[in-house]
Every structure is written in structure tokens, then in C-alpha cells.
Amino acid sequence: MIEIQYWWFAVLPLFFGLGWLAARVDIKHVIAQSKSLPAAYFKGLNHLLSGETHKAIEVYVDIAKNHQETIELQFTLGHLFRRRGELERAIRMHQKLLARRDLNVAQKEQAQLDLAVDFIKSGLFDRAENLLHELSGTNAARQARIELLAIYQQEHEWQKAIEIAQQLRDESHTYQHEIAQFKCEQAAAALVRNQVDLARGFLDDALNSHRQCVRARLMQGEILFAEDKYKEAVEQWLLIESQDVYYLALVARNILNAYEKLGQISEGIALLMRYLQRYPELDVLDLIYEQLIATQGIEVAHQFVRDRLRESPSMSGLRKLLEAHLLVAPDDQKPEIEMIGKLLHDNTREHSMYYCRECGFKTRQFFWHCPGCNGWETYAPIRGKRRQSAQ
């Protein structure tokens, strides 16, 4: 049992009194701060919370005219102008901020960073780049490098992007896969100039930076294929299985083309069928079906999709089965099959799209670099919205 010390009864009221006094001081401070703000400030805040940005801007502009000393308000206005796409007004506001002599160091750095972002949004990359380089060695240096990285990617300055990404490396983000993609971009540019050996060097660097870089492996195979080294090309592409097996769907047609060049198309088809058997979600059903029709006839292709649907039911398999049925069905049954196929297609459009797992941007074409969020390797190589987080 806890022994009660009677002197506690004398001390407890003192503690309560001190707590009450501290609370009173805090409340008075908050009230004083609130009274120092113009009433219109809260009106503008209410507009912001209601999503009425244009009305908020009008209110804050009026406040700024009568309260020129309000630095925070000018920052707010600059952000609102940029958000609304009024970039010239955002630039003027941040330039006005930078011209003030009463800014502390942190505020000056923030105003310079904000002005650089305005320039980036306006496509004035040179002016933005100069401002961002001036922030080197400051507390805003890391954010400035992130903005520089965005500039160099937009301008396809891949070597500069690599250098900045290397400076940004830390335990939370190594930038390995981005650097590997930048190396692949350099390789692609070298191939356009017919500098094959230089491209090979870039691709080797990409794999050294990120061993799981499927794109580098894919491009190495393409170089070998262009040199008529079909067997070696296939060997490169099949290594993708150890990186991420579902990316084999991106090279499946290339693999079949190589086998066709070798006079072994049947072996190529059989290889893809084995992969599909082993990895049911591998997106090669359409390609195998197409090749079976071309090489072995409609009946074989029809039986193939029937077996696949029975072993691994899927919407893509059902659509392909209906397509196969349409080819072998009697004429009097074709209208009904066509109608069912159309309804199925219209209600499963999303299953034929690639989805960015970061921003949800959808497209029929696979991208290494998302057009929506500018992320790298954010598309899963499997079509269909429900699979966008497959990796």
C-alpha cells in the first residue's frame, strides 16, 4: 500500500496554480495574436478552406495593400498565384519579397527557392538554374537540388541529372533506379547517333548502378538483335526473368522475332507458353494466340485459350476466348457472340490499360517515365487497374 506523505497536500495546490497561470498566459497570447490580425484574414482563410482560391486571393491582395510589413502574407500570395497558374504575378510577388531588407536568412532562402520554382513553371530554366545554384551550401540546398534534378530531366541533360542525383543520395533514397534510367537515356541518345560502343558503356553503367534495371537488359538485347546476334539477344532478354519476370511481356515479341530469324518460331512459342504456365499473370496471352493462329491454325489457337481460361480464369482470357469462338462459330451464332464481346470490351476497358502506381495516370502504351507524375519505373508491366500495385 502506498504511504501518503501529508506534505503533498501543501504542494499540490501550488502545481495546479502554476498550470492555471501558464494556461492563462498562453490564452492571452493567442487572443493578442488574433486581435493583431485583420478580420479579413480569417475571411480569406475561410475561402481557402472552401476551395475558393480566387476569392481568397482577392481578400489577401486587399490585406497586403494595407499591411505591407506582412512577410508571411506575401509568401502566401505568391503560392496562391502559382497554384492558379498566374505565374507572372507569382514571380513579381517573390521578386518583391527578395528585394526586402528585413528578411532573415531563412526567409530570403525560401523566397529565392520559390522564385526559382516560378521560373521552372514558366519554362525559364536558365534563370531558375542560376537561382538554385546560388542556394548551394545553404539550408535550402537539398530542396534546390531536387528542383535542379527536375530541370535537367525536362531538358534531357542526363549527365547533369546523374551528378545531382548522386549528391542527393542518402539512406532514405539512394536514387539508384533513377540514375540507371538516366544512363539508359544516354544510351538511347548514343544509339540515335550510331555510337553503339558508347551506348553499351552506358548500359553497363546502368546495371552497375541498379542490377534490377530491366530497361538496360532489354536495350542490350536490342543492340545484339540489330547486329544479327539473335541467340545472344534472346539470352539477354531471358535474364529479365531473374530481375522481374513480368517484364518479359515487354520483350516477348522481340523474343519471337529472334526465334523466327533463327528458323525456330515453334520453339519460341513453346517457350512463351511455358512461361505463361509458370506465371499465369504474365501478359503474353494475346501474343501467343496471334502466333498460334498464324503458325498452327484457328483450331489450335481456340483450344489453347480454352485451356488457359480453364486453368487460370481472367477477363483477358475470357475476351480472347470469345474472339476465338467468333472465328470458329457458325454464321448464325456470330451476331450473339459479337454482341457479348462488345459488352465485355466496353465494361472492361481498364483491363487493357497500363496504370502508374504513383499517380494513376493510364495509357495504352507502356512508359518508363510517367507523363503524369514524372516518376521513373512507376508502371507495372501488367495491364489492368487492379494490378497497378503488383510490384
Cα separation, 293 vs 302, in Å, equals 9
Cα separation, 258 vs 22, in Å, equals 79
Q: Is 373 annotated as a binding residue?
A: yes
CB 362 within 8 A of CB 354: yes
CB 282 within 8 A of CB 312: no
Q: Is 184 annotated as a binding residue?
A: no
Q: Is 370 annotated as a binding residue?
A: yes
Cα separation, 194 vs 272, in Å, equals 32
3-state DSSP assignment of residue 362: strand
Secondary structure (H, E, C), the chain? CCCCCCCHHHHHHHHHHHHHHHHHHHHHHHHHHHHHCCHHHHHHHHHHHCCCHHHHHHHHHHHHHHCCCCHHHHHHHHHHHHHCCCHHHHHHHHHHHHHCCCCCHHHHHHHHHHHHHHHHHCCCHHHHHHHHHHCCCCCCHHHHHHHHHHHHHHCCCHHHHHHHHHHHCCCCCCCHHHHHHHHHHHHHHHHHCCCHHHHHHHHHHHHHHCCCCHHHHHHHHHHHHHCCCHHHHHHHHHCHHHHHHHHHHHHHHHHHHHHHHCCCHHHHHHHHHHHHHHCCCCCCHHHHHHHHHHHHCHHHHHHHHHHHHHHCCCHHHHHHHHHHHHHHCCHHHHHHHHHHHHHHHHHCHHHHCEEECCCCCEECCCCCECCCCCCECCECCCCCHHHCCCC
Cα separation, 16 vs 148, in Å, equals 54
Output the known binding site: 356, 359, 370, 373
Output the known binding site for Fe cation: 356, 359, 370, 373
